[in-house]
């Protein structure tokens, strides 16, 4: 069964450093998302991406964050200058089309020290 | 704006007993409703969804959920709980407009005792 894959599974970074989280969505999917979850708490929407542009973003997704789909298969989330409060599990997700199920990856656990 | 409420932080049930995890929602358009399960240190696994059609939907691992439009609820149920069902359960909603982001509830921890 196709699945969303994410790398790295865990990354520790120093405050102020740039981080790139990578995702390979399911191959025929058209909608892509990033969510985050702090310590087993609520899952929060960050950004959605469709047709090579951001379609919606939350207030969490400030100028520090960016997304890219550089090559038609990878979908990346960049955090330019990490803060302690960015420590969380980041989930990538994808959906084939309107009305379908959104499938999530296993997550990338980011620890900022 | 969409929102989801899961009123119980935790549900405790004995193995073999029926379980219910509650969810109510609010959307502007027609609701698309989902349940996901999260095991420790794992991702979100899709359990089931309601888009249209029968109000009772069946999903993975013997779970089912009932859509109730008048009560704006989508409670998750299982007739006979297993210890292995112990996990964190999230209800989520999106409407049928826009770019269809999911909005999640705060999650309910299910503990099934032997």
For position A99, what pLDDT does the model report? 73
Contact A33, A47 (CB under 8 A): yes
Give the pLDDT band of residue B93 (cuts 50, 70, 90).
very high
Inter-chain touch B102–A105, beta carbons under 8 Å = no
Cα–Cα dist B66/B24, whole Å = 11
Q: Which burial class, exposed, middle or buried, applies to B71 when counting CB atoms under 10 A from its CB (0-12, 13-18, 19+)?
A: exposed
The predicted-structure confidence for B26-75, as pLDDT tens digits, reads as follows 988 888 999 999 998 888 999 999 988 899 999 999 999 999 999 999 99
Inter-chain touch B44–A104, beta carbons under 8 Å = yes
First to last CA, chain B: 41
Nearest Cα of chain B lies from the Cα of A95 at a distance, in angstroms, of: 10
What does the domain layout of chain A look like in residue ranges?
Answer: 5-96
For position A71, what pLDDT does the model report? 84
For each of the domains in chain B, give its residue range(s) and CATH number, in order of start: 3-113 (2.60.40.10)
- Residues in CB range of B60: below 8 A, 6 or more apart: B45, B46, B47, B48
A5-96: which CATH topology?
Immunoglobulin-like (2.60.40)
CB atoms within 10 A of CB A18: 11
For position B53, what pLDDT does the model report? 87
């Amino acid at each position: 069964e196709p699945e969303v894959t994410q790398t790295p599974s865990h990354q520790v970074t120093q405050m102020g450093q740039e981080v790139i989280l990578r995702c390979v969505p399911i191959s025929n999917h058209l909608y892509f998302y990033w969510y985050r979850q702090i310590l087993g708490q609520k899952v929060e929407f960050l950004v959605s991406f469709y047709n090579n542009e951001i379609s919606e973003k939350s207030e969490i997704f400030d100028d520090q964050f960016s997304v890219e789909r550089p090559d038609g298969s990878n979908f990346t989330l960049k955090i330019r200058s990490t803060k302690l409060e960015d420590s969380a599990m980041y989930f990538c997700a994808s959906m084939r089309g309107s009305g379908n199920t959104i499938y999530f990856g296993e997550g990338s656990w980011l620890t900022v020290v | 704006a969409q929102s989801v409420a899961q009123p119980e932080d935790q549900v405790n049930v004995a193995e073999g007993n029926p379980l219910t995890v509650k969810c109510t929602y609010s959307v502007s358009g027609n609701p698309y409703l989902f349940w996901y399960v999260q095991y420790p240190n794992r991702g979100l696994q899709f359990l089931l969804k309601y888009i249209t059609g029968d109000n009772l939907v069946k999903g993975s691992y013997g779970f089912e959920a009932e859509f109730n439009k008048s009560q704006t609820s989508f409670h998750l149920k299982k007739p006979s709980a297993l210890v292995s069902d112990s996990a964190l359960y999230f209800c989520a909603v999106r409407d049928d407009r826009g770019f269809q982001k999911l909005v999640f509830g705060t999650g309910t921890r299910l503990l099934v005792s032997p």
